[in-house]
Amino acid sequence: MPINFNKAEFVLSAASPEQFIRDGRKQIAFAGRSNVGKSSVINRLLNRKNLAHVGASPGKTTQINYFLIDEKLYLVDLPGYGYAKVSKSERDRWGKLMENYFQSSGLIDLGVLIVDARHKPTADDVTMCDFFRTDGCPMLVVANKLDKLKRSELEHNLALIRETLDMDETEILVPFSAEKGDGKEQLLGHIKAFCE
């Protein structure tokens, strides 16, 4: 069943479990710390300028956003984490929402974790990776902002990301630039292989 990723629409924002979508369609959940470029990666994949909101104020988005792709599957935009200035209550709300989402069994068919290609993944990235692993769903890791990296740094940085997230050779790491488009076809190919 070919899926047209150019056909995407925003469906709803969920702030509590009653709003989570459970209609049998597959769900691909995107996670990443605030400002890593998650919205930009989503927009790049869907060929849209601002479907997911780039530059949305960090930490103010304790909501799960659902985008329906080609009426066949959901791209689920999980709220960003790790923004230092977030209040404790906001952070608690984030934690509760994630717990609820991950505990609602069988919601996630594929996890996509977005990290910064320039840096060692943070402790929060490792925690998010563990959320996906505990859920038991397959997971892809995207190393975004590739364009900000020198070519000579690439191999070392990718190895550091694999090591920090404890990825084995079978797990997929895709170097990506939401800005330039690098990695788009590779990532779409992997996503389609999981979903079609």
Which residue in the shown chain puts its C-beta closest to ligand GDP? 37
Q: Which residues contact 64 (CB under 8 A, 6 or more apart)?
A: 13, 14, 15, 20, 76, 77, 78, 79, 97, 101
Cβ-count burial 14-28 (b if 16+ within 10 Å, e if not): beeeeebbeeeebbb
Which one, of 79, 85, 90, 69, lies nearest residue 11 by Cα? 69
58 vs 138, which CB is nearer to ligand GDP? 58
- Answer whether 107's CB lies under 8 Å from 23's CB: no
To the nearest whole angstrom, how small is the minimum distance from the Cβ of residue 56 to ligand GDP?
A: 6
To the nearest whole angstrom, how small is the minimum distance from the Cβ of residue 72 to ligand GDP?
A: 24
To the nearest whole angstrom, how small is the minimum distance from the Cβ of residue 125 to ligand GDP?
A: 12
124 vs 179, which CB is nearer to ligand GDP? 179
Q: Which residues contact 180 (CB under 8 A, 6 or more apart)?
A: 146, 147
- Answer whether 177's CB lies under 8 Å from 192's CB: no
> Can you state the percent helix, strand and coil of the chain, rounding each to 5?
35, 20, 40
94 vs 145, which CB is nearer to ligand GDP? 145
39 vs 157, which CB is nearer to ligand GDP? 39
Looking at this protein, which amino acid is placed at residue 123? A
To the nearest whole angstrom, how small is the minimum distance from the Cβ of residue 156 to ligand GDP?
A: 19
Binding site for ligand GDP (CB under 6 A): 32, 34-40, 54-55, 80, 144-145, 147-148, 177-179
To the nearest whole angstrom, how small is the minimum distance from the Cβ of residue 55 to ligand GDP?
A: 5
34 vs 157, which CB is nearer to ligand GDP? 34
17 vs 58, which CB is nearer to ligand GDP? 58
To the nearest whole angstrom, how small is the minimum distance from the Cβ of residue 48 to ligand GDP?
A: 12
CB atoms within 10 A of CB 145: 22
